[in-house]
Structure 1
Amino acid sequence: MKSRVWSKIDFSAIGMQADYARVPYSSDTSAYGWIPVPILCFNGGNRPTALLTAGTHGDEYEGQIALRNLARELSSCANLRGRVIILPALNWPAVSAGRRNSPLDEGNLNRAFPGDADSGPTAMIAHYVTSELFPLADLVIDLHSGGRSLDYLPVALARPGRNDTEAAAILRLLKCFGAPYGAITDGAGAGAGSTLYAAAEQHGIPALTTELGLGATLSERGLGIAERGLRRVLHDYGIVPAVGAIEAGSSVILKYQSPHNSIYAPCDGLFEPFVKPGDEVKTNQPAGRVYPLSSAVAEPVELKFSASGLVAYRRFPTLTHTGDALFGLMSVMGEAA
Structure 2
Amino acid sequence: MKNNKRSYFFIKQWMLVVWFLTSSTAFAQAPFELANVLTEAGQSNSYMAKENDLEVPVTVIHGTQPGPVLLLTAGVHGDEFPAVLALQRLRDEVDTKQLKGTLILVHLANLPGFHARRVALHPLDNKNLNREFPGDKNGTPTEQLAEFFTREFISRMDFLIDMHSGSWNQELLPHVYSPFVDNKELDDLTFEFAKAIGMQHIVMYGERPRDPANSISYPNTAMTRGKPGLTTEIGHLGQRDEESVEDTLTLSRNALYFLEMLPGEPTPHPNPVIYDKLKYVASPADGLFTPRVEIGSVIEEGTIVGDVRDYFGNIVAELTSPVSGIVMMINYTPPIKTGETPVTIGLEQDI
Superposed counterparts of 1:92-171, under 5 Å? 92-99=111-118, 100-171=120-191
2:180 is equivalent to residue 180 of structure 1: no
Structure 1 unpaired stretches of 5+: 1-5, 25-33
Give me the whole-angstrom Cα distance separating, in 2, the residues matched to 1:282 and 1:210.
26
Give me the whole-angstrom Cα distance separating, in 2, the residues matched to 1:246 and 1:202.
26
Give me the whole-angstrom Cα distance separating, in 2, the residues matched to 1:98 and 1:297.
30
Residues 179, 160 of structure 1: CA spacing in aligned structure 2 closer, same or farther, 3 A cutoff? Answer: same
**Deviation for aligned residue 1:157:** 0.6
Equivalent position SS for 2:328: strand
Matching residue of 2:276: 255
Superposed counterparts of 1:1-337, under 5 Å? 7-10=35-38, 13-24=41-52, 34-44=53-63, 45-74=65-94, 76-99=95-118, 100-187=120-207, 193-242=215-264, 247-250=267-270, 251-257=272-278, 261-293=279-311, 296=312, 298-333=314-349
The percent identity for this pair of structures is 27
Do the aligned residues in 2 keep the contact of 1:8 with 1:19 (CA within 8 Å)? Answer: no
**Deviation for aligned residue 1:171:** 0.6
Equivalent position SS for 1:267: coil
Give me the whole-angstrom Cα distance separating, in 1, the residues matched to 2:70 and 2:102.
6
Cα shift readout 1:276-308 (whole Å, capped 9, x = no counterpart): 221111111111111112xx2644411111111
Give me the whole-angstrom Cα distance separating, in 1, the residues matched to 2:67 and 2:87.
20
**Deviation for aligned residue 1:216:** 1.3
Aligned residues: 310
TM-score by length of 2: 0.82
Give me the whole-angstrom Cα distance separating, in 1, the residues matched to 2:93 and 2:86.
11
Residues 11, 182 of structure 1: CA spacing in aligned structure 2 closer, same or farther, 3 A cutoff? Answer: farther
- Report which stretch shifted further, 319-328 or 281-290: 319-328
Do the aligned residues in 2 keep the contact of 1:130 with 1:199 (CA within 8 Å)? Answer: yes
Tell me the amino acid that sits aligned with residue 325 of structure 1. Answer: T
Two-structure CA RMSD over aligned residues (Å): 2.1
Do the aligned residues in 1 keep the contact of 2:198 with 2:267 (CA within 8 Å)? Answer: no
Do the aligned residues in 1 keep the contact of 2:43 with 2:96 (CA within 8 Å)? Answer: no
Residues 187, 268 of structure 1: CA spacing in aligned structure 2 closer, same or farther, 3 A cutoff? Answer: same
Tell me the amino acid that sits aligned with residue 184 of structure 2. Answer: D
Equivalent position SS for 1:123: helix
**Deviation for aligned residue 1:329:** 1.3
Tell me the amino acid that sits aligned with residue 273 of structure 1. Answer: P
Give me the whole-angstrom Cα distance separating, in 2, the residues matched to 1:316 and 1:222.
18
Cα shift readout 1:84-129 (whole Å, capped 9, x = no counterpart): 0111100111112222211122121101111111112211121122
Give me the whole-angstrom Cα distance separating, in 2, the residues matched to 1:255 and 1:222.
25
Give me the whole-angstrom Cα distance separating, in 1, the residues matched to 2:188 and 2:266.
23
Do the aligned residues in 2 keep the contact of 1:80 with 1:239 (CA within 8 Å)? Answer: yes
Equivalent position SS for 1:51: strand
